[in-house]
Amino acid sequence: MPLVKKTPDEQTVWIGVDQQLAAINLQNGRIIVAMPFPNYILQILTLPKVTVVLTEWQVLLFNPGGTVRLSEDLPEQAIGMSVVDENLLIQLLEGERLILNPKTGCFIDLAVAASV
C-alpha cells in the first residue's frame, strides 16, 4: 500500500512504496528525491520544515529541498511514530521508545523528557 503525504505548504508530495521513496515538487513536477531503502518504509510524516521517514530499521529527516538532515539506524525494529509536543516518539517492536527532536536531529533521553 503506497504512503502519500503532502507537505504542510502543499508544495511537495512524498510517496513511499515498499522500499522506494520519492518526493515530487507539485509546482513544476520535478523529482526532488528518489531513493531505495534496504527495508520497508513504515511511515512518512510531513512537518513544517522537515519530512520524517521511518523504515523498519532507520529514521531519516529531510530538509524542505530534499537533502538528508539525519539518517540514523535504530537499535531494534520500529513499528511506528507519532508527534508528541515538538518531538517524535518512535515506538520499537520490543516496547522501547525513542524520542527524537526533528529540529535538532538529537535523540532525547526518556528520563529527561519526562521531567520537562
Is the model's pLDDT at 1 over the cut of 90? no
Q: Are 34 and 44 in contact (CB under 8 A)?
A: no
What average pLDDT does the segment 42-51 reach? 96
pLDDT of the residue at 115: 45
- Give 23-38 pLDDT, tens digit per residue: 999 999 999 999 999 9
Alpha helix stretches (DSSP H) within 1-116: 110-115
pLDDT of the residue at 110: 65
Cell numbers placing 2 = 503506497
Is the model's pLDDT at 116 over the cut of 70? no
For the purposes of burial, counting CB atoms within 10 Å of the CB of 16, is it exposed (0-12), middle (13-18) or buried (19 or more)? buried
Residue owning grid cell 518531538: 87
CA distance 75 to 64: 27
- Give 60-70 pLDDT, tens digit per residue: 999 999 999 99
Average pLDDT of the residues of the chain:
92
For the purposes of burial, counting CB atoms within 10 Å of the CB of 90, is it exposed (0-12), middle (13-18) or buried (19 or more)? buried
- Specify the pTM: 0.91
